[in-house]
Structure formats: C-alpha cells, structure tokens
Structure 1
Amino acid sequence: MKQVQKDFPVAQNYTYVNTAASGLLSEDMLDYRQEQDLDFLIGGSIYREKQVSFFNNVRKSVANFFDGKATNVSLVPNFSWGMNALIEGLKPTEKVLLLDVDYPSINWSVESRGLKVVTLPITANLEEVILEKVKEEKPTVFAFSIVQFINGVKIDLAFIKKLKAEFPELLLIADGTQYFGTEPFSFKDSGIDVIGASAYKWMLGGYGCGFFMFTDAVMSRFDVKTTGMASADGNMEATDISLVRKLDPGHLDMFNFGSMQFGLEYLTDLNLTDISDYLTGLSVKAYKGFKELGLLDDAVENRPNQLSTIFSLKLEEKYLGVLREQSIIASYRANRLRVSFHIYNTEKDVNKLLLALRKILNN
C-alpha cells in the first residue's frame, strides 16, 4: 500500500496511535469540506435543493463499501443515536445477550429500556462462551461490537456467520465503529442482521455522521416510532414510511455526510485488501512487542489469530503524559493505556512506541 502519512498533518507532527479515540483529517478532506462550505456560502437554499439525490448517492456509497443494499441504509448523526432509536423499537418480550464491558451505547440503550438481559465476560475463548450462553439462555437478540473499544478484542466473524446459521432466529446487531475501514467486509455474507457505525474513526469521515444497514428479513422485528419530514423526503402525504427511513427523521448535514462519503472513497482508492494487509503487519509487530513486555491482558494475548488494530496495555494513567512528552498520542480507558493504528501509521511509529514503553518499564 502506498504511504499516506503525508496526507495527514497530525501524523507528520506526532506519533499518533489514537484512532480509537478519533480518526484524522486529511488535507484532501479539508479541501473537499471547504468547497462544500463555499457552495453553501454562495448558494444558500440552492445548495440544499440537491439534498434528496445527494443523500441517495451517499447511501449507495455506503452500500457499495459494505456490500449491502442502498435502500436498506439509514443515515444517522452517530451510532449512539441510531442504536437508541432502534432498540426503542424492539418488542418488550425480546431477550438480549450483551458483552459485559461492551460500548455503553450498546449496553445502556438495551438496559435502560427494561428488556431482559443476559451478559457474559470477554475472555480469550469468547466465541465458545457466546455459543454456550446462546444454547443455555436462548436469547432472541445478540448485540455486540465487532471490535471492543477498550481492549481491541475482535470477534471471529466466521463464528458469527456459523452462529446465525445454527440459530437463524437470533437477531444479530453489530457495531462496527472500531472496525469498519480496516479490512474488507461483506454485510451480505456476514450473517449479521443489522450493522451500524459512527464514521469518525477508521472510516475517516469526521464527526456528525454514521449509518445503519439492515437485511430485508429483519424489518418486521422493529416498531420504531421516530419519524419526520425527512423520512418522507418532504412528501406531506406519505403514509407508509419504512424502518430505514424512520431513522432519518430530520434534516441531515450534507457537509458531514459528504465527508463520510469522501472518507469511504479515499479508503476504496487505497484498496481495502491492501489496507488490511498493511494494518495486519503493524498489529502483528505491535502484538509481539507488547507480549514480550508483558503488557497484554490474557483476553488479547491468547487470541493471536484475532488481532485488531487496538491494544490495551497494563500501564498506569501517568504514563500517558510520559508518552505525550515524546509526541506519542494515545488514550486511557478502563485502567489501561490504549493504543491503536491506522493507515497513517508506520513501522517506525510502532518501533518508537515500543522503545518508549521499554524505557518506562526499565525505569
């Protein structure tokens, strides 16, 4: 894959290993956004006249990127908003399986609505535990992140496909915020019923944009109440609004969703297979170094065949500042120092990080 670090000013000035907190803005994206602002500046409402065709085009871009159907794509300002609206539409008799420290917008949206909930811990043998719990508790819904935001544990997508085949009535809802943009993903072939994501991390779309996508078969499982003029594209006579469009109840920001589309096109031009190979190389190198230093939890250390681009390191929060003094930007989550990699990182970044960590541990 071609080197793209030069496209991202932050990556040129820092060792930025913090995509799990925020993806970066490229100079090309800045140019695009300035053009959009200029069009609005000189056009006013004329700029908005193309919104229906514009957003339909964005839906097509999302569908093409994830191998789904454009008519089954909802555009949402963020995953959290969409997830809450969606869970509100579940029948009160549903029983939901959750991972115990999954992203709050997944777990809280379920727990706050009084649905029956079953939780399980994230362990090295996660897939075995999930299968056992599904057989034992017979949940009707399983909601999960493909990659865990705290420690980077990545669920085996081949397992998810088999799980769906064995339990076809089990509704699978997946958050791809910490995963989409790191490798090719076919929604059509995944076995997952609903996917959603915010676009500001590995998708490089900036803030205020995200999406949900559905299979045809799951539409009847939800009775979503949200709706508005935008759900009907301004048609005040509309009486039959689909689930997909009920998640588009109000005006959408062409600036933000155009940025999401731009990010997807940027990644597509780089080739997702090449991106995957490149990021796998960085993750394997980092994993070996972190393991050697004894910084990984068992749930990650014992899953070398399911590495993501996120790692949780057993270090105190004070070391976040030590790294910052060396221009290394990371995060701190759940009593762990979290680092994460994307296309603007290099082996040099990994080497610099490992050297800094060795110095910390040797002091």
Structure 2
Amino acid sequence: MENLRKGFPVLEQYTYLNTAASGLLPESVWEFRQNHDLDFLLGGSVFKEKQADILTETRELVGEFFNCVPSQVALVPNFSYGFNTLLEGLDKPQKALLLKNDYPSLNWAMESRNFEISYAEIDQNLEKNIAEAFENQQPDFFAFSIVQYINGIKIDLDFIKKLKQKYPETLFFADGTQFCGTEEFNFEESGLDVLICSTYKWLNAGYGNAFMLFKKEVEGKIAPKALGFGSLQGKYKAHQGNFIEKFEPGHQDTLNYGSLAEALKLMKKIGIGEISSTIESLSVTAKSEFKKMNLLEESVIKRKTHSSIFNIKGGEKLFQYLKSKNIIISQRGEGIRVSFHYFNTEKELDFLIKELKKFGV
C-alpha cells in the first residue's frame, strides 16, 4: 500500500481525502512538465517539431486506457469546452433528459440553450427514475454524470448499456470526470455515444487537459462548427475539416496534454485492477462505518454499489475542525464531502473516524 503513495508529497503533510475536488500532481508528471518547458526554452521552434508526437502518444494512451480507437479521441482543455462544442453541433430544438441537480457545468450548458428539457431524480431509485423518464419523454439525447459530485451516487453502467439497446436512436452523453481513473472502463462496449472527462481529479493529470471519446456513429448526428488553421493534423487527423479536428481548433497545449500522457503511464504501471480494488475496498469500509455513525443520506445507504465519494452530515464547525487536523475535505451540498483514491489507506479512514468521534459526531 505504501508503494502506491510514493511520488505524492502532499500525503506527507495532510490526510488528503479530497480527490473529488482536485487530484494530486504526481512527481513523475511534475518532472515531465519541467523537462517539457526546458526543451522549449532551449529549442524554440525545434521543440515545436515534436508537438505532433506528444499529442499522438497522448491520444493513443487515452484510447488504450479506455478502449477507444485513437482516431475517435479528441483532446480538449476541459469538460465545459468539450461539452459546449458538442452541444453547438446539435440541431435545436431537441428533447433532452438531464438528472436534477447534476453537475452545474453539465446542466447549465444545457439549460442555457433552446432544448426541451425534462429531469430524472437522483435518489436510491435512480435507474428506475431514468427508465420512466425515457418512457414518458422519449428524449433525443440524455446527458448525465456517471458519478454524482455531491454524494457519490454512481449510475449503473450495465443499465445504461441496456437502455441504449432499447433506445438506439437516443444519444447518450456522459461526464466521466468523477469516474474515469477509478475502475476499468471499456468505452467501445459501453452504451455511451460520447464520454467527456476533465482529468485533474482521479487521473491526477493536473489542470488544462481533458478528453472526449466518440462512437463512430455520432459523426453523422453532430456537426461541430469550430475550426482553426493552427490545429496540427497529426497521425489521426488525416484531412482538413475531419470530425475530431473540429473539437481541437488551434494549437494544442503539449505541456498539459503531455501531462495527461505521463499520468496515464503511471496508472498503467500500477494497474487499473490494483487501483480499482483498493478504491472499492476503502469505499465499502467507509460506507459501513459512516452508516453506523448515521452520517449518510438514505439514498446512498439504500444503493447496492457506490463510488468512493461520500457526503457526510456536518456543518461549518466540523469542517473547520477537520481542517485543523490537516484532514483535507470539501463542503458540498448540505454536508461535508470526503473521497478516497488509491493512494489513501484504511489508516487514514480510521483517523478520520477517530476525529469525527472526538468532535462528537
């Protein structure tokens, strides 16, 4: 377990239970970033000639990690940029289904446009609520977060796959920002048409990088309008005006996309199986302990499976108390959000529980 913590200096100072807000920067990524800018400092345009190789490697690593052909991977600066570009490529008006109180960057982007929107409730019956909304509304597309940012409720991806089979003409757009990097995921075999993920959280890739995965079939249904002369063609953008290029106008940031490549190399070295089992073990134990202490909402308690994000009951005083103990968490919704990644330990969970009890929770 201690080997999983190497390369994260933050863990020497804090009990860091806040990946749902911001992942940590691994030393290997930091070293890449320093070398990248040193090469640019010393090489100028000579370094620029290597940019296509950096972007190609990143695209291939994303495709390998999530089982998506590299030519269907777009590199974008953040979820919001990618999602808004996607929405601008859709004909309007269309009927859309969202989850009520889903992540603001997702719902706000939808609500600011001329779509006919309906909502499904996020509770212990999430999948049932979605199925009923599909029957009643017959949406043209469904946009949702795989894992909810406030309380960690995770949608059943097998349910999504079956729902897509039942409604093949509906487009399924997913935000994977609170999901990607926590368990193995096969995009090609999923029910998703598009997945978008900012990678500064669970992939520990730093800020300014994200990716989009596309099924080939969506190209005739989405018509993005962005173009730019400076966009490098590269190995997977063989002709001007191709689909992926419209999500990557202009020069690409090789510092940040190269950081994503280095972060994926680290996770690949550890192994997604090891990462997933560690996270799952912590999640199961944490849920059991928080349930005993009556800290969880009923909708989370009644779900069979859950992510490693929890919203526990508590206000400003508890939040400040935990901070005083160098436990890094976030205030979200009506409680305090804690989240566990592969570099966290049961010892840290025990410390959190001990301090909660000391406070009188």
Q: When the two structures are superposed, what TM-score results if normalisation uses the length of structure 2?
A: 0.96
User: Does the C-alpha gap of structure 1 residues 36 and 231 become closer, same or farther in structure 2, counting only changes over 3 Å?
Assistant: closer
The equivalences for 1:53-72 within 5 A come to 53-72=53-72
User: Does the C-alpha gap of structure 1 residues 232 and 344 become closer, same or farther in structure 2, counting only changes over 3 Å?
Assistant: closer
Q: CA deviation at 1:320?
A: 1.4
Aligned equivalents of 1:221, 1:139: Cα separation in 2:
15
- SS of the equivalent of 1:128 reads helix
Aligned equivalents of 1:251, 1:112: Cα separation in 2:
28
Task: Identify the residue that residue 359 of structure 1 maps to in structure 2.
Answer: 358
The equivalences for 1:17-32 within 5 A come to 17-32=17-32
Aligned equivalents of 1:326, 1:31: Cα separation in 2:
30
Q: CA deviation at 1:219?
A: 1.0
Task: Identify the residue that residue 76 of structure 1 maps to in structure 2.
Answer: 76
Task: Identify the residue that residue 110 of structure 2 maps to in structure 1.
Answer: 110
Asked whether 1:256 is paired with 2:272, we answer no
Q: CA deviation at 1:240?
A: 5.0
Aligned equivalents of 2:256, 2:300: Cα separation in 1:
35
Q: CA deviation at 1:298?
A: 1.5
- SS of the equivalent of 1:4 reads helix
Q: CA deviation at 1:239?
A: 7.9
Q: Do the aligned partners of 2:52 and 2:232 also contact (CA within 8 Å) in 1? A: no
Amino acid at match of 1:311: F
Q: CA deviation at 1:232?
A: 5.9
Task: Identify the residue that residue 324 of structure 1 maps to in structure 2.
Answer: 323
Aligned equivalents of 1:283, 1:51: Cα separation in 2:
40
Aligned equivalents of 2:43, 2:257: Cα separation in 1:
18
Task: Identify the residue that residue 96 of structure 2 maps to in structure 1.
Answer: 96
Task: Identify the residue that residue 342 of structure 1 maps to in structure 2.
Answer: 341
Aligned equivalents of 2:157, 2:95: Cα separation in 1:
22
Q: Deviations over 1:328-356 (max 9, x none)?
A: 00001112200001121111111011111
Q: Deviations over 1:245-270 (max 9, x none)?
A: 10101211111111111111111111
Aligned equivalents of 1:319, 1:252: Cα separation in 2:
43
Amino acid at match of 2:137: E
Amino acid at match of 2:60: K
Aligned equivalents of 1:336, 1:114: Cα separation in 2:
34
Q: Do the aligned partners of 2:74 and 2:248 also contact (CA within 8 Å) in 1? A: yes
The equivalences for 1:172-187 within 5 A come to 172-187=172-187
How many residue pairs match? The answer is 358
Q: Do the aligned partners of 2:232 and 2:251 also contact (CA within 8 Å) in 1? A: no
- The share of aligned pairs that are identical, in percent, is 46
Q: Do the aligned partners of 2:233 and 2:239 also contact (CA within 8 Å) in 1? A: no
Aligned equivalents of 1:287, 1:90: Cα separation in 2:
40
Q: When the two structures are superposed, what TM-score results if normalisation uses the length of structure 1?
A: 0.95
Task: Identify the residue that residue 130 of structure 1 maps to in structure 2.
Answer: 130
Q: Do the aligned partners of 1:5 and 1:12 also contact (CA within 8 Å) in 2? A: no
Q: CA deviation at 1:97?
A: 0.4
Structure 2 unaligned spans of 5+: none
Aligned equivalents of 2:340, 2:242: Cα separation in 1:
38
Q: CA deviation at 1:2?
A: 6.3
Task: Identify the residue that residue 10 of structure 2 maps to in structure 1.
Answer: 10
Task: Identify the residue that residue 169 of structure 2 maps to in structure 1.
Answer: 169
Amino acid at match of 1:79: F
Q: CA deviation at 1:233?
A: 2.9
